[in-house]
Amino acid sequence: MVLGSMTQGFESILTPEALEFLSALHKHFDARRQSLLSNRSKRLRALERGERPNFLSETEAIRQGNWCVAPIPADLLDRRVEITGPVDRKMIINALNSGAKVFMADFEDSNSPSWDNNMQGQINLRDAINRTIEYTHPVSGKYYSLNDKTATLMVRPRG
């Protein structure tokens, strides 16, 4: 069930399949989520009493093991110039065209987390990935679209 308004275009993000997927995730993980939230409150109280954090004994094998992560993708090897910004249409276009190596679309600190802003941000990212994103300023009439070469897109989600 979606409680927010379904403004035109939102249905292309919250498709029936996407909503079914979210519902399945909720059914599967909600009890665990509630438990984690409860444990978080208990842990905070323990820290406030002076308890110190430590590693879990059941994860020692991971810490002691011999493992490595996959190599860094080629388009992320040179990250000397990165830009972070909000997920509104014009800003995404300008950031991707900026000449920076990486643009991090920020749903956290750079975004006022209203329903409309989050949903429109998803639409904007989809359009940027599909290279169909464009914007015309309502007063000046200036047109914005992606250059042939753009920054690598990364996303910082809320939370």
20-54 pLDDT, tens digit per residue, is 999 999 999 999 999 999 999 999 999 999 999 99
Please, what's the b/e burial string for 70-109 (b: 16 or more CB within 10 A of its CB; e: otherwise)? Answer: eeeeeeeeeeeeebbbbbbbbbbbebbbeebbbbbbbbee
**pLDDT beyond 80 at 116:** yes
pLDDT more than 70, % of the chain:
100
Question: What pLDDT, on the 0 to 100 scale, is given for residue 3?
Answer: 86
Count the Cβ atoms, other than its own, within 10 Å of residue 133. Answer: 20
Question: What pLDDT, on the 0 to 100 scale, is given for residue 159?
Answer: 82
Residue 122 banded pLDDT, cuts 50, 70, 90:
very high
pLDDT more than 90, % of the chain:
93
Chain mean pLDDT for the chain: 95
Question: What pLDDT, on the 0 to 100 scale, is given for residue 2?
Answer: 82
Residues contacting 39, CB < 8 A, separation 6+ = none
> What is the three-class DSSP state of 26?
helix
Residue 1 banded pLDDT, cuts 50, 70, 90:
confident
Measure the CA–CA gap between 158 and 115, rounded to whole angstroms. 12
Mean pLDDT of 60-81: 93
